[in-house]
A and B are shown apart, each in its own frame.
Chain A
Amino acid sequence: EDQVTQSPEALRLQEGESSSLNCSYTVSGLRGLFWYRQDPGKGPEFLFTLYSAGEEKEKERLKATLTKKESFLHITAPKPEDSATYLCAVQAGGGGNKLTFGTGTQLKVEL
C-alpha cells in the first residue's frame, strides 16, 4: 500500500527564516511526486511535479527536491503570503492516475 508521511505537522517561521518541509514516501514504482499549496477553505493549488531521484524544481522562494525515499520543499526567505498548508502526493505506476496524499504541513510565516 502506498504511504506518504509529511513532517512537521505545523511550522512557524519568522519572515526571512528559511526552512524545509519533509515528505517521506513508500510506493511501488513511483510515477510522480507532487507538491500542492492549499489555503484555508480552498482547493489545492499545484506547485511541482518530480519524477526521478535527483530532480529539482524551483518557483520563486520554493524549491522541491527528490530522493528515492523522500522529497523536501525548501522555503527560502519566506514571506507572510507563503503561509498555507503544503501537501505532498505520490502517484504509483500501474495505479491509473490516482494520487495518495500526506496530511500536510501547516506553515505560518510571521512578521
Chain B
Amino acid sequence: DGGITQSPKYLFRKEGQNVTLSCEQNLNHDAMYWYRQDPGQGLRLIYYSQIVNDFQKGDIAEGYSVSREKKESFPLTVTSAQKNPTAFYLCASSEQGGTEAFFGQGTRLTVV
C-alpha cells in the first residue's frame, strides 16, 4: 500500500533533549512537508522540501532542523532550542505542480 508512515505514534522526552521524528513515503512524491498542530490553531508549516538535498524554512522553523538525503525520507529534529515542543506533528507529501498533499498519521510529542 502506498502512503506516508510516521513513527513513532507517541513520543515522550525530557526537556533539553533533542528528538528526531521519522517520516517515510512510498508515493514517489518530490515534495515533503512538516506541520505542527496545536489545539485551537490551524496547521502551521515548519519546513518543506521540494527536491532531494534541498529544503526551505516554513513559518515556524525556529528550534527545528530537517534533512532530505533520500526522496522517500524527511526526518524532523526537534531541538532543545524549541521553547514549546509539545504538539502533534504531521508529515505530508505531494507531487510537484500544485496538487493535493497527503498526510501521515502524526506523531504526538510530549516533553516533560
Known pairs A31-B98, A34-B100; A98 contacts B45 (CB<8 A): yes
**Complex CA distance for A99 and B6, rounded to whole angstroms:** 20
Task: Evaluate contact between A32 and B43: CB separation under 8 angstroms.
Answer: no
Chain B, interface size category, equals: 20 to 34
Chain B residue with Cβ nearest A31: B98
Complex contacts, B103 vs chain A, CB 8 Å: 36, 43-46
| A43-B105, A44-B90, A96-B48 as given contacts; A101 in contact with B98, CB under 8 Å | no
Does chain B have a CB within 8 A of A104?
yes
Indicate if the CB atoms of B106 and A41 lie closer than 8 Å.
yes
Per-residue CB proximity of A13-37 to B under 8 Å, as 1/0? 0000000000000000001101010
Tell yes or no: B2 within 8 A of A by CB: no
Residue from the list A42, A46, A87, A91 in contact with B43, Cβ < 8 A: A87
A41-B108, A97-B50 known; A103+B40 contact, CB < 8 A:
yes
The digit string for A80-93, where 1 denotes a CB below 8 A from any CB of B, is 00000001010100
CA distance A101 to B38 in the complex (A): 12
Nearest residue (CB) in B for A97 is B31
Residue in chain B with minimal CB distance to A4: B42
List B residues at the A interface (Cβ < 8 Å).
Answer: 4, 6, 31, 33, 35, 40-45, 48, 50, 56, 58, 90, 92, 94, 96-106, 108
Additional A-B contacts beyond A46-B103, A99-B45, A103-B41 (17; CB < 8 A): A32-B98, A36-B103, A42-B105, A44-B103, A45-B103, A46-B102, A49-B100, A87-B42, A87-B43, A91-B98, A96-B56, A97-B33, A97-B48, A97-B97, A97-B98, A98-B33, A99-B33
